[in-house]
Amino acid sequence: MKKLAIILLVSAISAVALAQGRPDKAMLDRIHAEKIAFITSELELTPEEAQVFWPVYNQFEKEQRQSNKQVREAQKAMQEALESGKNDSETKPLLDAWVAAKKAQKNFLVEHRAEFVKIIGENKTAKLFMAEENFRNQQIRKIAGQNSEFDELFRKQKEEAGEMHRRLNQRNDH
C-alpha cells in the first residue's frame, strides 16, 4: 500500500509538472545547483574529497538518469499493452523488460556504492544516499506547496489508479 501511495504521489507530481509545461533549462539548472549545495552541506566534503567526488558523482547522476529513463520507457510500454488488452504472450516480453530495467536500477546503486566508499568512506556515502532522498522529498514538498491544484490532482490520480486496478481485476476474472 505504501508503494502505491508513493507511485500515486510521483504520478500526481508528474502530472502537475506536465500541466505546468516542461521546466525550462534555467529552472533545471537552479534545482541542480540547489542539489549540489545541499549535498555539499550534508557531506561536509573536504576540498580534496570534493575534487575527486564531484566528477564521479556527475557521471553517476548521468547514468542514473539513463537508468530511470529505461525504467520509465519499459513501464510506459507495459502500461500501453495493458490498456490495449494485449494477451499474456504479448505482455510477457514487456514485463520482462520492465523487471530487467528495475533490477538494473537497483544494481546500479550497489555498483556505485563501492566507488563512493573509496572516495569518501562509508559514513559519507550513507550520508550521500540519505541526502539525495531528503533533497528529493524536499522538492516534492516544495512542488506540492506551490500548487493549489496538487491535492485535487492527487485525489484524481488515486481514483484513476483504483479504477484501473478494478478493470484489470475484472479482466483477470474473465
Note the pLDDT tens digit of each residue in 102-156: 998 888 878 889 999 999 999 999 999 999 999 998 988 887 776 656 566 666 7
Q: What does the pLDDT look like over 24-60, one tens digit per residue?
A: 888 888 999 999 999 999 999 888 998 999 999 999 9
Report the predicted TM-score, pTM, of the whole model to 2 decimal places: 0.63
Shared domain check, 137 and 58: yes
Shared domain check, 138 and 121: yes
3-class secondary structure, 147: coil
Alpha-carbon distances, residue 101 vs 58, 69, 106, 171 (angstroms): 21, 9, 9, 26
| Whether pLDDT at 97 is above 90 | yes
pLDDT given at position 86: 92
Shared domain check, 77 and 13: no
* Residue 28: inside a domain: no
Residues 6+ apart with CB under 8 A from 138: 38
Shared domain check, 103 and 80: yes
Shared domain check, 113 and 159: no
Shared domain check, 96 and 64: yes
What is the pLDDT confidence band of residue 15, given thresholds at 50, 70 and 90? Answer: very low
Give 173 or 170, the one with higher predicted confidence: 170
pLDDT given at position 8: 40
pLDDT given at position 12: 45
Give 2 or 26, the one with higher predicted confidence: 26
> Which domain range does residue 165 map to?
1-20+153-174
| Whether pLDDT at 173 is above 80 | no
Shared domain check, 102 and 68: yes
pLDDT given at position 101: 93
User: What amino acid is encoded at 30 in this protein?
Assistant: R
Mean pLDDT of 6-14: 45
* Residue 38: inside a domain: no
Shared domain check, 166 and 98: no
With cell 519499459, the residue in question is 74
